[in-house]
Amino acid sequence: YSEQSVQQTTVAVNNYVDGMKDKLSKISDEISESQSTVEINERVASTIRIQNDIYAVMVYDMQGNLLCCSSDDLTMKKNIYKNLSFDKELFESAEEYAVTLPHVQTIFEGRYPWVVTMARREEQPLLGGEVYVAIDFRFSEIAKYIDNVGVGRHGYCYIIDSDGNIVYHPQ
């Protein structure tokens, strides 16, 4: 029973990650179809309002400068000390999609949720050429899959990466 629970959870998390990729592709298409940065922000903001798991959508240049950012009516900080959602080394090394470890989102005033960033590199002529389109997904949505899995009387499920490092642990 425990093994079956873990396998079902693995399938659920993999399906969720596939959904994240699909949302990133759709938002990238919306950005490509936009005629201005104002239109980009309007289109993306309307998508965020109906997607509970999306916290913010960002577009970065290749050096990590934030070109545009859409959220559900959140106020960006004037001075961002460190943007934990941008990982240049990870983004550059990704073949198609880069996925960060869970981290605190730090670019909005008074809000510090745990998120996972998924990004991909693409050509966006309106934004000056090659950019990274990134989405911060609320980590709580992913954690729900793991937290509800009981393994035996006192067991629990957790996520590790391919190197054996803990990505998420419910305790």
- Average pLDDT in the chain: 85
Look up the pTM and report it.
Answer: 0.86
Q: What is the pLDDT of residue 49?
A: 83
**3-state DSSP assignment of residue 137:** strand
Does the pLDDT value for residue 148 go beyond 80? no
Share of the chain above pLDDT 90, in %: 28
Can you say how many angstroms the Cα of residue 32 is from the centroid of all Cα atoms in its chain?
19
Q: Where are the beta strands (DSSP E) in the chain?
A: 54-60, 66-71, 98-99, 103-104, 114-124, 129-138, 150-151, 155-156, 159-160, 166-168
Which residue has tokens 């900080």?
A: 77
pLDDT at 152: 67
pLDDT in tens, 12-53: 888 888 999 999 999 988 888 888 888 888 888 888 888 888
**Token reading at 44:** 């993306």
Q: Is the pLDDT of residue 72 over 70?
A: yes
Rounded CA-CA distance 6/45 in Å is: 35
The yes-or-no verdict on residue 125 having pLDDT over 90 is no
- Residue 68 has what pLDDT? 84
